[in-house]
């Protein structure tokens, strides 16, 4: 089995801005990005910038993460897999208005079931994840997968990253395992563009927003996916409202009014 690796990363003033775009605009932005940004060094495909991502998202039986109850609204626990790799990542994201703190541990796929065992083995790199999901009453709730394009560059204040997620699929989790089925489509016919950067938005992203007249939309893939699987039952939920608005027929996003002044959204 491959060795475990535990890493921590703290990003001060980390920002992530999301947009829902249709397929035509997504194709144009792909060409735009490939002409200005470098491919993700860990990606593959004809352009060296694509890969499949599958994540198991954790929640409580009462869906405290989905409803953002108390501290559950600030922390997200998930297990992420890239393609068919036998290496997977145990992840926790802690967000507040000024900082994104991410902890990620690499383990072997065959060790995933250890997370569900009672009592943590302090000698195992995944023990921190195992302890915390047990204390918080979390378990795999949902599997979300998508095809991602990823382009990167070095900005004035550090690395910047552009991603486009297509063919987003969701299905209920089956315990501590990745299911081979794809599941239900989320945002059918539309894709999610994300811009990630530190401090101020870099000029290259400002040009992108202006050229394509993009308007940001706060959302969570986990919460959007849960709304789809729940039959759109959570009418009061902000992300569900965003989902229904994004899915509604409308003119091309390229014709939407620009909203660049609202782009500084902390995560």
CATH number of the CATH domain containing 151: 3.20.100.30
Q: What is the total count of domains within the chain?
A: 1
CA angle 157, 158, 164 (to 5 degrees): 115
In this prediction, residue 265 carries a pLDDT of: 32
Q: Pick out the chain residues at pLDDT < 70.
A: 1-13, 96-100, 232-267
Position 267 in a domain: no
CA distance 234 to 60: 16
This prediction's pTM: 0.83
d(CA 120, CA 131): 6
CB–CB of 87/108 below 8 Å?
yes
**β-sheet bridge partners, residue 37:** none
Domain enclosing residue 90, as ranges: 5-262
For residue 81, list its beta bridge partners: 54, 88
List the structure tokens of 229: 């699987």
Spatial CB neighbours of 27, under 8 Å, sequence gap ≥ 6: none
Q: Residue 231: inside a domain, yes or no?
A: yes
- The dihedral region occupied by 140, where left means phi > 0, alpha psi between -120 and 50, and beta the remainder, is beta
Tens-digit pLDDT profile for residues 206-243: 999 999 999 999 889 999 999 999 885 444 455 555 55
How far from the centroid of its chain's Cα atoms is residue 186's Cα? 13
Sign (positive/negative) of CA torsion 28, 211, 196, 42? positive
pLDDT at 261: 31
pLDDT for 175-187, tens place per residue? 999 999 989 999 8
Q: 33: phi > 0 → left, psi -120 to 50 → alpha, else beta; which?
A: alpha
Per-residue model confidence (pLDDT) at position 238? 54
Please tell me what DSSP assigns to residue 98: S
Given this model, what pLDDT does residue 144 score?
98
On whether residue 20 sits in a domain, the answer given is yes
Spatial separation of the C-alpha atoms in residues 221 and 57, rounded to whole Å: 10
| The predicted structure's pLDDT at residue 251 | 31
């Amino acid at each position: 089995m491959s060795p475990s690796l535990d890493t921590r990363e703290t990003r001060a003033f980390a920002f992530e801005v999301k947009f829902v775009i249709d397929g035509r605009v997504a194709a144009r932005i792909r060409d735009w990005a490939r002409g200005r940004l470098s491919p993700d060094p860990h990606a593959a495909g004809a352009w060296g910038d694509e890969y499949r991502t599958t994540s198991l998202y954790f929640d409580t039986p009462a869906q405290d993460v989905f409803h953002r109850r108390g501290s559950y609204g600030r922390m997200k626990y998930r297990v992420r897999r890239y393609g068919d790799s036998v290496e997977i990542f145990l992840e926790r994201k802690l967000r507040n208005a000024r900082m994104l703190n991410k902890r990620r541990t690499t383990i072997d796929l065959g060790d995933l079931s250890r997370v569900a065992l009672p009592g943590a083995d302090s000698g195992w790199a995944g023990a921190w994840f195992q302890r915390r999901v047990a204390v918080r009453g979390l378990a795999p709730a949902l599997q979300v997968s998508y095809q991602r394009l990823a382009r990167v560059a070095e900005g004035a204040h550090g690395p910047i990253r552009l991603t486009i997620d297509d063919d987003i699929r969701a299905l209920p989790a089956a315990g501590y395992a990745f299911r081979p089925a794809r599941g239900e489509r989320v945002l059918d016919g539309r894709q999610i563009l994300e811009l990630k950067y530190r401090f101020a938005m870099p000029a290259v992203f400002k040009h992108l927003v202006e050229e394509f007249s993009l308007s940001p939309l706060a959302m969570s893939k986990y919460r959007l996916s849960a709304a789809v699987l729940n039959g759109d039952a959570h009418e009061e939920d902000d992300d569900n409202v965003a989902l229904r608005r994004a899915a509604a027929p409308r003119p091309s996003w390229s014709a939407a009014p620009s909203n660049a002044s609202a782009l500084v959204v902390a995560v």
